[in-house]
Amino acid sequence: MALTQHHHIDLTLINGYLEALDIVVIQQMLDLYIQQSELNLTAINSAVVNADQKTWQEQCHKMKGSAASAGLSQVHQKLILLEKSTEDSEIKAQHLHELRLLNQQAVAAFQQWLKEQ
């Protein structure tokens, strides 16, 4: 894996998982995260479209916890910033686009790490 991808994932956490869990379980954990994050991103998008601050905060909070548990540190950090954002929908739409890209990069970095194990 390129060194530039390491910053997307918490290697200490994920390597700790590897010590305690079978690699298949870790793959299942990532698969579950991918499914859940798509649901969260869809709900966050709805919150942007509907200018629903409560849903925005709730869904960002949920995804933040999932990202932290999965070791996706940059996604987690981005969501810490976004969760309490009260910016207008246009700015939130930009943040959501950035979040989607960051999430894709982090998942790809995790998948690459899995291949190397």
SS (H, E, C) 57-107: HHHHHHHHHHHHHHCCHHHHHHHHHHHCCCCCHHHHHHHHHHHHHHHHHHH
pLDDT for 1 beyond 50: no
Percent of the chain with pLDDT over 70: 96
Mean pLDDT, residues 78-106: 97
Amino acid at 92: K
Q: Which domain holds residue 95?
A: 3-115
pLDDT for 4 beyond 90: no
- pLDDT tier, 3 (very low <50, low <70, confident <90, very high otherwise): very low
Percent of the chain with pLDDT over 90: 94
What's the CA gap between 24 and 95, in Å, rounded?
33
What's the mean per-residue pLDDT of the chain? 94
What's the CA gap between 75 and 83, in Å, rounded?
12
State the total domains in the chain: 1
Mean pLDDT, residues 25-44: 98
- pLDDT tier, 5 (very low <50, low <70, confident <90, very high otherwise): low
CATH of residue 87's domain is: 1.20.120.160
